[in-house]
Amino acid sequence: MRRWHQMAKEPFAPITRRGFLGALAIGGVGVGLGGFGGTIVDVVSYRNRGRKALHPIYGNSDTPEWLRDVTTGELKPNPQWILRHTTDQQCHSNCGLRVKIDRKTGRVQRIIGNPYHPNTLIDYTSMSVPFIRTAAHPGTVCARGNAGIESAYDPYRVLSPLKRKGPRGSGKWQPISWEQLIREVVDGGKIFADTGDPASESFEVTGFGGLYAKRNELMNPAAPELGHRTNGFVLQCGRTVGARKEFVVRFGQAFGSVNVDDHVNVCELSHHVATDQVFPGKHMTQPDVTDAKFIIYWGTQPGDANFPMQTHGKYAAHARAKPDGLKYVVVDPHLSRGGVIGDRASWVAIKPSTDGALALGMIRWIIENRRYDAAYLSHPTRKAAEAAGELSHTDATHLIIVDEKHPKYGRFLTSEAAGLGGFKGDSAADRVVIDPAGRPARAGAADTARMEYAGEVNGIRVKTAFARIRESAEMHSLDEYSSICGVSKERMIELAREFTSYGRQAVSTMYRGVVKHPNGYYNGVAVLLLNLLVGNMNWTGGLTAGGGSWSYKKGLYDNVDVPEAKGVAYGVMITRQGVRYEDTSEYQALVKAGKNPYPAKRPWWPFSFAMYTEVLPSGLQKYPYGIDILMWNMATPFYSVPGQGNPEIIKMMKDPRNVPLIIASDIVVGDTSMYADYIVPDGSFLERWNVDGTLPTVLTKGTYMRWPVVELTHKTPDG
Ligand code: SF4
């Protein structure tokens, strides 16, 4: 204080920069000691109060994983710890982990990133680099990945098989032995007699044994397509991934049930279907983030829920920080914390579920202003595109039958139907295009073709796919699109102009926010079509399907099928997926009886798969049949499926007459497993085996192993 007082009285004198910094430093130290001196005294004396801290400065924090030799400077592993690599499953990003385990107790102390894994570092470590040299360069994990320790050591972990003691959902449990569990669920009978639940004490349950004995009986003789009675066993899986998934499918096959399926439709099915329609054979695409110049994120944001989550956020931050690096726009009704950071990112607040309107408005403007890559779109086949130096091709030039009376209305015209001959059974090359001279030609015979055509070929009215898309986009004016989606016309045009200003290094990518609506599939298709207009697929900085992975299903052993059980499991799944209602015995019987077959009791889903949300309502309505035994694995439908945690459904599920036997496999008594009759203890991701692959944001081909890096964290008294 004295010093400031003196300075205030003295006249200002010229000050050099060095002198100024020196004064600041001295002032800083003075203020620091004055402000925190007491704290330091407290810290020193606290160390001697109560239980003594292990170290005067580091307190009780762990010793590091590595020790440095003070004379040579060399690193060596700290023998106190074991370091093991595995793969995370706190989310589906599959990041590689380096798990620090106490050698004495076997307990996990810390989780960091495995630097050899591409998710955890942009410049990840080559497998040829020795382990010891990675000491100073670990990879990253996100906060949720770190919290894997809490999952493994959750104080409420289920330690042994549990059986309800009281009605379903009463929250009362009794531990039972594995022998009792297996005996009761296999033999069935009055297995709830000891629960004290008046509603089920004398209830007769068909166990696995009783149901298996009916493996040759039809579920419904009037509808043989429904398969055998063993389809009454339903295994509803959540994130039951590689290796475990094949195991449960094999179990279903061997038992004779087709009803072993996972969770995709509650998560992102319309995303997969839309992607597959635009990029056949692909369920997911992502931007090549680090080299892209411009990305539009629809219904997702870098650093938020996406795959792989921390990796995508890291890549975007890296790309954004480069001089002349990535610019991106987030199109989402909701601006979250991880989304828009810095002046190279911006947010377009769109009305929920109207992404398709904005995308079609952009498509309209791009086509009207000829901002698309016409040269790329003019190649009708992959062969022609590759000969021109392209990496992919589209069907923009292919002719579609537009005569509504034609039996193949809406399908591509084939060279056979066009009377051109040369039909070779190749679905793309056998289509028809209009060559540059204006003549119909087999697609496989043309290097380039016209993108715009409407007329007749061999008496059949046709248009090019490109013309059909243009017409769809022209169904509304930009003002109309603007009023639908709530984004101004000016912003729409600005987005379209910018998107078409970076050549192949601009990407339109989407995730759940776009597709989780009744019109989600259409939103998704419109958003993805933008990529075709700039021809960015597989280019550096463009759209990518990622590096992929190696199949663990092929090799010496058949890990997928049970050859002896072939044909035992067949029939319509309880979710009615992959089947047309019009092909069922039920529909045909109604028509034959002169009755109106519509509507069906519940919808049929000819194009969908993994219809998780349909399992419980179908079982409760017994349509097309009921459930005898329900198993949940990593599944929480009451929590994760909108509407299924409502009191009405829970009340029905609590009644054993609706679903006689429910077994959950879970690591804790969860919000859905709490309604089971039995809970089987599951392992956390640090304790189980899985195989997984890289996700599309990562361009490296990779297959990962998840393995038990620690023993089951909880043990029963007998071990
Ligand atoms: S992003 Fe990676 S580290 Fe984070 S929870 Fe998901 S898998 Fe784990």
Segment 304-330 shows an average pLDDT of: 91
Average pLDDT over residues 188-209: 96
The pLDDT of residue 57: 75
pLDDT tens digits for 163-184? 999 999 999 999 999 999 999 9
Look at 657 and 556; give whichever has higher pLDDT.
657
* pLDDT tens for each residue of 65-94: 999 998 998 999 999 999 999 999 999 999
Tell whether 36 and 95 lie within a shared domain.
no
Contact 661, 676 (CB under 8 A): no
Q: How confident is the model at residue 37 (pLDDT cuts 50, 70, 90)?
A: low
- Give the pLDDT band (50/70/90) at residue 447: very high
CA distance 409 to 293: 41
Residue 30 has pLDDT above 60, yes or no: no
| Best probe residue, ligand 1, of 86, 89, 91, 315 (max atoms within 8 Å of C-beta) | 91
Shared domain for 181 and 129, answered yes or no, is no
% helix / strand / coil in the chain, to the nearest 5?
A: 30, 15, 50
Q: What is the pLDDT of residue 518?
A: 92
The interface predicted TM-score of the complex, written ipTM, equals: 0.99
CA of 27 to the centre of ligand 1 (A): 44
Residue 33 domain boundaries = 2-46
**pLDDT value of position 8:** 32
Q: Answer yes or no: is 259 within a domain.
A: yes
Residue 568: pLDDT band by 50, 70, 90 thresholds? confident
- Are 140 and 28 found together in one domain? no
Task: Pick from 85, 87, 90, 239 the residue to mutate for probing ligand 1's pocket: most ligand atoms within 8 Å of its CB.
Answer: 90
Q: 672 with 565, same domain?
A: yes
Residue 42 confidence (pLDDT): 58
Identify whether residues 453 and 390 lie together within a single domain.
Answer: yes
CA distance 718 to 179: 14
Average pLDDT over every residue of 428-435 = 94
299: pLDDT strictly greater than 90: yes
Asked, for residue 207, whether it belongs to a domain, the answer is yes
Helix (H, G, I), strand (E, B) or coil at 271: helix
Average of per-residue pLDDT across 531-547: 96
Percentage of the chain modeled with pLDDT above 90: 78
Q: Which atom of ligand 1 is nearest to the CA of 143?
A: 4
Check pocket membership of 144 for ligand 1, CB cut-off 6 A.
yes
- Note whether 79 and 121 are same-domain residues: yes
309 ligand 1 Cβ < 6 A: yes
Q: Is the CB of 710 under 6 A from ligand 1?
A: no
**Same domain membership, residue 262 and residue 229:** yes
Q: Are 448 and 456 in contact (CB under 8 A)?
A: no
Whose Cα sits closest to atom 6 in ligand 1? 91
Say how many domains are in the chain.
4
Decide if pLDDT at 46 tops 70: no
Domain final residue, candidates 472, 506, 525: 472
In a shared domain, residues 104 and 172: no
Taking residues 342-346, report their average pLDDT.
89
Q: Ligand 1 pocket check: which of 141, 150, 698, 706 to mutate, most ligand atoms within 8 Å of Cβ?
A: 141
* Spatial contact of 585 and 597, defined as CB atoms under 8 Å apart: no
**Is 91 touching ligand 1 by the criterion CB < 6 Å?**
yes
Q: Compute the average pLDDT of residues 255-267.
A: 93
- Looking at the CA of residue 309, tell me the nearest atom of ligand 1: 1
Report which secondary-structure segment, H or E, holds 82: strand 81-87
Comparing C-alpha atoms, which of 12, 82, 9, 96 is closest to residue 702? 96
Would you say residue 100 has pLDDT above 90?
A: yes
Pairing, β 629-633 against β 661-666: parallel
- Does the pLDDT at position 28 exceed 50? no
- Is 305 a pocket residue for ligand 1 (Cβ < 6 Å)? no
Task: Measure 62 CA to ligand 1 centroid, in angstroms.
Answer: 23
Do residue 568 and residue 668 come from a single domain? yes
What is residue 342's predicted lDDT score, i.e. its pLDDT? 81
Q: What is the 3-state secondary structure (H, E, C) of 657-705?
A: CCCCEEEEEECECCCCHHHCCEEEECCCHHHCCEEEECCCCCCCCCEEE
- What's the rounded Cα separation, in Å, for the pair 376 and 140? 39
Answer yes or no: is pLDDT of 666 > 70.
Answer: yes
281 within a domain of the structure (yes/no): no
Confidence of residue 365 (pLDDT cuts 50, 70, 90): very high
Spatial CB neighbours of 656, under 8 Å, sequence gap ≥ 6: 168, 192, 199, 200, 203, 205, 677
Last residue of a domain, one of 454, 472, 490: 472
133 with 191, same domain? no
Looking at 128, 152, 176, the residue that finishes a domain is 152
Q: For ligand 1, atom 8, name the residue with the nearest CA.
A: 145
Higher model confidence: residue 674 or residue 554? 674
In a domain, 278, yes or no: no
Q: Is 237 helix (H, G, I), strand (E, B) or coil?
A: strand
